[in-house]
Amino acid sequence: MELLFLVLFALHILKREALAVSHWCYESQKYEDPLCQGPREWYQIYATCKGEKQSPINIVTKNVVLDKSLNSLNFEGYDVKESSAWDIENNGHTVKVTLDTSAKIGGGGLGRKYKAAEFHFHWGVQVGQQYLPGSEHSIDGEKQAMELHIVHIREDASDIEAAKKYANGVAVLAFFIKIEEENRNYTSLISELENIKYKGQTAQMEPLPLSSLIPPEEDLGRYYRYEGSLTTPDCYEGVIWTIFEKPIALSLSQITQFSTVYFDGKNSTPMAENFRPVQFLNGREVYRSSASILLPTAKLLLLLLMLTYILSSLCQ
């Protein structure tokens, strides 16, 4: 009996030690921390990560389905600069900004209003003169340098944990970020990165209108929609994803600044390639907004002129 007790006690200790070292990470952290669980192993800690509606995905444009109910979203309070400072944090996985704002989204086939709770980023890594892209979603296999996620929760939920108790409790707006010219709207946010270099560090930054961080509203009518999950553990399934076609532009210098923060403490791995690989669709449909089929006014005018010319030529 005493031997059985010792065996059970030993197994209990081993289980506790295993749980202590079993923490999730990105593949780019595995070299420094081989005991952490990379994306292919997340399901060993969180069973939901092996679900049927996981994110991110690769959007194959020839397979997407037009949904005429997906009209333009309504952005409420996105152009308002709030009085309270924003908390910006290095949480060991990304740069996250917690929002204290009245900003909400509705329309666009969402079925209800969702309030903005936080936003964060995923990015790649610079290797020599080349920047390897780090967006989570891709379109026809093509990724961009970064991806911005603005996370919204049901209007009647107190926080994201409460929102997770519902189906479709979370709605995420995803924006690709490409390498182009400098974007001065991101200057104050990027300048705070030096104050959150290490895991657990937080700082406060001057609030901005959320609209200043994303493309103009007139460019947000074209998007893709599908049902998925959070792209980090616990991989909660119940997320309505909206992925916009129009990207945000940042300079290469601005983008590389995100890798001046670290996954952990001093001398740890610089935070880079903090993205989850694409997941299987498992029979899910991906929809495109009705605005995606509209021709821009200039192109439509050119088409009409060409048709007029062709018809007049045929009549001569």
Any idea where the domains of the chain sit in the sequence? 1-45, 47-293
- Digit-coded pLDDT (tens) for 213-266: 999 999 999 999 999 999 999 999 999 999 999 999 999 999 999 999 999 998
Residue 101: its pLDDT value, please?
84
Residue 313: its pLDDT value, please?
62
Backbone angles phi, psi at 225, to 5 degrees: -135, 135
Q: Which residues contact 302 (CB under 8 A, 6 or more apart)?
A: none
- Digit-coded pLDDT (tens) for 95-108: 999 998 899 999 99
- Digit-coded pLDDT (tens) for 8-34: 333 333 333 344 447 999 999 998 999
- Digit-coded pLDDT (tens) for 248-263: 999 999 999 999 999 9
The DSSP output letter for 169 is -
According to DSSP, the residues that pair with 89 across neighbouring strands are 96, 202
According to DSSP, the residues that pair with 131 across neighbouring strands are 126
- With contact defined as beta carbons under 8 Å apart, do 215 and 175 qualify? yes
- With contact defined as beta carbons under 8 Å apart, do 99 and 117 qualify? yes
CA 66 to chain centre: 23
Catalytic residue selected from 23, 93, 120, 149: 93
Output the pTM of the full model.
0.87
List, in sequence order, every beta strand (DSSP E) within 108-222.
114-123, 125-127, 130-132, 138-139, 146-154, 170-179, 202-205
What average pLDDT is seen over the chain? 90
CATH superfamily, region 47-293: Alpha carbonic anhydrase (3.10.200.10)
- Cα gap 121→134, rounded to integer Å: 10
* Known catalytic membership, residue 122: no
Long-range contacts of 216-221 (CB under 8 A, 24+ apart): 217/72, 217/75, 217/78, 219/246, 220/72, 220/73, 220/75, 220/244, 220/246, 221/71, 221/72, 221/289, 221/291, 221/292, 221/294
Q: Which residues contact 93 (CB under 8 A, 6 or more apart)?
A: 26, 232, 263, 274
DSSP H or E stretch at residue 224 = strand 223-229
- With contact defined as beta carbons under 8 Å apart, do 292 and 68 qualify? no
Instruction: State percent of the chain over pLDDT 90.
Output: 81
